[in-house]
Structure 1
């Protein structure tokens, strides 16, 4: 089941994202760290009504942020559509023991269905340049790689920006 997350879900969601960070670090993918993702980012997501939790057997196994807010780092990107009525995906995570079972696909299906039902023009996101698995995941879903942005608090390596026109 996918549902809007609440403040009482924060600790479990942080457990999920920390497990993902450790899993990626173990694979040499230094995408997430102790400072990101963090509690304050998730609290803002909840206040904005944009954080969703994926549950299996009443346990949170994943999350996704579906936002209408464009990060300032995205401004220089030459997007395929105008900067009007777009959705942005952030902090998609599936606890490692549940990865490879289609849960990330379910969260993205949910986000894309939400965007279509609400007449958004496109969905935009970024993924780490060193995370080839994520790049393939989004490209197979039809997302187009458009440019790079940097988040110095996360990595010296770029993040690739993608867009799916709906």
Structure 2
């Protein structure tokens, strides 16, 4: 059975194992995403847990995925290029960041199920505008994002080396259409 919940501090070691394995997978695939000291680290994940924005996916009670639901205006997202967001209410969206699935469960559809569950959770607390980004050559994540009904909206640039990301958005009405 697959469920999600807010992460507890006791889950930090497994969260970091999942993130480190994802970092190694990206590196092996030739992606600069999360490399060179950029990307989630233990301190930022501990802070996310304390802020109650870190979520974990559980398969039969075992932590198999992690992501953060971050609300509020993101300056990187505000500066979208080569496209635009469907809405302009900058303080009324939630961004999905630091998304990773355990390498032990790769290819089992966990990423798709986890992203779907995060969408539902965001809707429960009233967000109608969901946003997510990934490195342009992270084709697996792009497939998961698109499979979950998100639409490509343009590019955003984080102020780090290789900070280019492709950005996607899903509006509440679209979420309902995807679920039906």
TM-score (norm 1): 0.89
Question: In the TM superposition, what is the alpha-carbon distance from 1:55 to its structure 2 partner?
Answer: 2.5
Contact 2:112 / 2:148 at 8 angstroms: preserved in 1?
no
Question: In the TM superposition, what is the alpha-carbon distance from 1:152 to its structure 2 partner?
Answer: 4.3
Contact 1:143 / 1:164 at 8 angstroms: preserved in 2?
yes
SS at match of 1:149: strand
* Whole-angstrom CA distance in 2 between matches of 1:87 and 1:135: 18
Gaps of 5+ in 1: none
Question: What is the match of residue 12 of structure 2?
Answer: 10
Question: What is the match of residue 23 of structure 1?
Answer: 25
The answer to whether the aligner puts 1:163 opposite 2:165 as a matched pair is no
Question: What is the match of residue 67 of structure 2?
Answer: 64
Contact 1:67 / 1:88 at 8 angstroms: preserved in 2?
yes
SS at match of 1:32: coil
Question: In the TM superposition, what is the alpha-carbon distance from 1:120 to its structure 2 partner?
Answer: 1.3
SS at match of 2:121: helix
Aligned positions, number: 165
TM-score (norm 2): 0.83
CA gap of 1:141–1:10, structure 2 versus 1, over 3 A, is same
The answer to whether the aligner puts 1:147 opposite 2:147 as a matched pair is no
Question: In the TM superposition, what is the alpha-carbon distance from 1:95 to its structure 2 partner?
Answer: 1.2
Question: What is the match of residue 55 of structure 1?
Answer: 58
CA gap of 1:59–1:130, structure 2 versus 1, over 3 A, is same
Gaps of 5+ in 2: 173-180
Question: What is the match of residue 103 of structure 1?
Answer: 110
SS at match of 1:161: strand
State the Cα RMSD in Å. Answer: 1.7
The answer to whether the aligner puts 1:43 opposite 2:50 as a matched pair is no
Q: Superposition pairs for residues 88-127 of structure 1, below 5 Å?
A: 88-127=95-134
Contact 1:130 / 1:157 at 8 angstroms: preserved in 2?
no
Contact 2:66 / 2:98 at 8 angstroms: preserved in 1?
yes
